[in-house]
Structure 1
Amino acid sequence: MQVATMQSAARAQRLGAAVRRGKQARRQVVVQAASDTKFADYQPKVAFFFPGQGAQTVGMGKEVAEAVPAARQLFDRASDILGYDLLAVCAEGPKDKLDSTAVSQPAIYVASLAALEKLRAEQGEEAAAAADVCCGLSLGEYTALTYAGAISFDDGLRLVKLRGESMQAAADAQPSGMVSVIGLSADKVAELCEAASQEAPQGQGVRIANFLCNGNYAVSGGIAGCEAVERLAKGFKARMTVRLAVAGAFHTDFMAPAREQLQQALAGTTIQEPRIPVISNVDAAPHSDPDTIKKILAQQLTAPVQWETSVKTLLDSGLERSYEIGPNKAGRLRGVIAGIMKRIDKKHSIENITV
Structure 2
Amino acid sequence: MAREQEAAVERRAWKKPAGFLGPLLLLLSVPLQALAADPLPSWNDGPVKQSIIGFVTRATTEGGPGFIPPEERIATFDNDGTLWQEQPVVQGAFLLEQVKARVKEDASLAKQQPFKAVLEGDLALLSTMEEPELMALAGATHQGKTQEEFAREARAFFQSARHPKLGVPYTQLVYAPMLELLQYLRAHGFQTWISSGGGMDFMRVVSEDLYGVPPQQVIGSSLKEKFDDAGGHPVLRREARLDHVNDKAGKPVGIEQHIGRRPVFAAGNVRSGGDIQMLQYTQEQPRAGFTLLIHHDDAEREFAYEEKNDASLKAAREGGWTVVSMRQDWKRIFPGGR
In terms of fraction of residues, the more helix-rich structure is 1
TM-score where L is the length of structure 1: 0.28
Give TM-score scaled by structure 2 length.
Answer: 0.29
Higher RCO, Cα 8 Å, sep 6+: 1
